[in-house]
């Protein structure tokens, strides 16, 4: 087995933002993520969970905050590792790279939150380490910035274009099913 799914930061802060009315893109990104997880699990391919936690008390991502918990549909199964990070890239504050190398996993498919931040950082770092990175663009979520400019859709398109230019193969959930 050389391929693994990496689920980045699918924690309750994501659904909280949506419930607050913060614009996001793509509209069906969470449903698409759930489909991708089901596809990998059904194929018996490794699923790896990344969760972001901060040490700042009162932060939405502090370990004591309910918003730091995984969204129910993205809870890890007993055989699925969970890495807790405190940096934007999942590689910089976890033993993720060692885990992938030890399990001879050189192809990493990425879904999750948030496109312009932790997904972007993780994909670029993984590519720098020589991993074959794939991003499923309709299974990665973007949010409007607080200033609303640029918006979630623009951020998503630019991030996917930049990642696809030199760091990863960028595909859709439909293309994943074909491969």
Cβ within 8 Å of residue 149, ≥6 positions away = none
Domain count, the chain: 1
pLDDT for residue 178: 52
Q: Report pLDDT digits (tens) over 10-64.
A: 999 999 999 999 999 999 999 999 999 999 999 999 999 999 999 888 899 999 9
pLDDT beyond 90 at 2: no
The three-state secondary structure class of 102 is helix
Report the pLDDT value the prediction gives residue 148, as an integer from 0 to 100.
67
How are beta strands 47-52 and 24-25 bridged, if at all? unpaired
Residue 1 above 70 pLDDT?
no
Q: Does residue 147 carry a pLDDT above 80? A: no
Residue 58: both structure tokens together: 């009162």
- Model confidence at 140: pLDDT above 80: yes
Q: What CATH number is associated with residue 168?
A: 3.40.50.850
Segment holding 83, helix H or strand E: strand 82-85
**Residue 118: per-residue pLDDT:** 97
pLDDT digit string (tens) for 86-124? 999 999 999 999 999 999 999 999 999 999 999 999 999
pTM for the whole thing? 0.96
CA distances (Å), origin 77, targets 39, 56, 139, 173: 14, 28, 20, 22
Q: Which residues constitute the domain of residue 171?
A: 3-178
């Amino acid at each position: 087995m050389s391929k693994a799914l990496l689920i980045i930061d699918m924690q309750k802060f994501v659904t909280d933002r949506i419930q607050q009315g913060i614009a996001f893109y793509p509209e069906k990104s969470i449903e698409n993520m759930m489909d991708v997880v089901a596809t990998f699990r059904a194929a018996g391919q490794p699923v790896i969970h990344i969760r972001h936690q901060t040490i700042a008390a009162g932060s939405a991502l502090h370990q004591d905050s309910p918003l730091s918990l995984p969204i129910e549909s993205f809870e890890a199964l007993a055989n699925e590792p969970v890495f807790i990070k405190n940096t934007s890239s999942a590689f910089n504050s976890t033993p993720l790279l060692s885990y992938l190398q030890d399990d001879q996993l050189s192809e990493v498919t990425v879904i999750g939150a948030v496109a312009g931040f932790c997904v972007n950082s993780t994909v670029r770092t993984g590519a720098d380490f020589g991993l074959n990175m794939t991003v499923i663009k309709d299974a990665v979520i973007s949010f409007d910035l607080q200033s609303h400019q640029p918006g979630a859709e623009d951020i998503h398109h630019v991030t996917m274009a930049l990642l696809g230019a030199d760091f990863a193969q960028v595909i859709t959930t439909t293309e994943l099913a074909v491969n």
